[in-house]
Amino acid sequence: MDRVRARGHRRDRRRRGDVLNNVSRHLQIPNGIDGEQHRRYRGLVDTYFTAERLAEFEPTLRQICTDLIASVPRDADIDFMAAVAEPFANDVSCAFMGWPDSLRQPLRDWTEKNRRAVTARDRAAMAAVAVEFDSYIRAQLDARRDGTVDDATGRLLAERIDGEPLRDEEIVSIIRNWTVAELSTIAASAGVVAAYLARHPETQEALRRDAKVLDDATDEIQRIHSPFIASRRRTTRDTDIAGTSVTAGDWVFVVWASANRDPRAFAAPDEFRLDRDPTDNLVYGRGVHDCPGAPLARLELRVLFEEIFAATTKIELAGIDSVPARYPTGGFERIPVRLR
């Protein structure tokens, strides 16, 4: 069934003149298309992450962070991932898409099932959780078809490409790209930053004194400890990469975590430094397929840690060791800390 559906997607995309790249046999917008059609879809997607739209969203985001941090106990051992990072990513994702509070717990449960499936590389389980997630999106689309709900999900139903409305499978693909990244990668990013600040109190104190540099600081911390390990692609033709011959059909892995610590690009790569050229940092990718949600991700991390700093005097490690996430995910499964 999946193969039939994938072939149908390919026929539909050819109807619009898409140039496909080998990301997946499933529809992926915009990172699974290239050329002029990619520019059109990417142009549409980028309108959801403009400075104006993010400014509209910031008060909601800040209230979510304020309420969440207020609910976390002080001077007690907590797991930052379970107590802060994961509910933060979940609540912000639902708020950005305009989804109801009733969906938050199902998405928390889904995130854990997805993590277990990906870690185990269980294809059957991954397929099942993908179908489950798509059903959540389609239910939200159905609730907005009368055009009376003005939120990010509802606005996608009114979008046009080449004068034609987006098909449901295209909208599902776009929303899946946004929300799965939000639920997993943003949680991992928040955990990476918190762990680094707890382990480097001098950096934490400097940022508490000057939170204006938080965007640059969170980028640099994620360069040092990447929340996103690698991407993979299957080549569509014979080529040469840095002197290595690659045959059409080969798998190529882009290991962001390694590239971001390459001493040829980053002097003293283990050091936290804010004087580096930000264009060298690959935490949000590079080129036409860089992360469209990067402006939102930076805003989320900045506001989260601004609110943590405002409500606490210290993030410190608790006595139990952190547990790193298992490949292919990055970051941590557990980060025991205390908020003072």
- Tell me: the pLDDT tens digits for 201-220? 999 999 999 999 999 999 99
What CA–CA distances, in Å, run from 182 to 224, 232, 300, 321?
20, 20, 10, 26
CA 123/CA 217 separation, integer angstroms: 37
Q: Is the separation of the CB atoms in 207 and 310 below 8 Å?
A: no
CA 133/CA 30 separation, integer angstroms: 19
* Per-residue pLDDT reduced to its tens digit, 83-97: 999 999 999 999 999
The secondary structure of residue 286, as a DSSP letter, is -
- Cβ within 8 Å of residue 213, ≥6 positions away: 207, 274
Decide: pTM greater than 0.85. Answer: yes
Q: Is the pLDDT of residue 10 over 70?
A: no
Instruction: Over range 284-307, report the average pLDDT.
Output: 95
Q: Is the pLDDT of residue 2 over 50?
A: no
The full set of domain ranges for the chain reads 2-339
pLDDT higher at 130 or 301:
301
Q: Which two tokens stand for residue 186?
A: 């943003």
* Per-residue pLDDT reduced to its tens digit, 63-113: 999 999 999 999 999 999 999 999 999 999 999 999 999 999 999 999 889
User: Average pLDDT over the chain, rounded to whole?
Assistant: 90
C-alpha angle 230/231/232, rounded to 5°? 125
Burial of 109 (0-12, 13-18, 19+ CB in 10 A): exposed
pLDDT at 11: 39
Q: Is the separation of the CB atoms in 228 and 188 below 8 Å?
A: yes
Greatest CA span in the chain, whole angstroms?
60
Q: Which residue has the tokens 């606490």?
A: 312
CA 9/CA 170 separation, integer angstroms: 9
To which H or E segment does residue 161 belong? strand 160-161
Determine the topology of domain 2-339 in CATH.
Cytochrome p450 (1.10.630)
Alpha-helical (H) ranges within 185-326 are 187-199, 201-209, 214-224, 256-259, 294-311
To which H or E segment does residue 57 belong? helix 51-71
Q: Which residue has the tokens 């402006």?
A: 295
Q: Which two tokens stand for residue 44?
A: 């549409």
Backbone angles phi, psi at 293, to 5 degrees: -90, 10
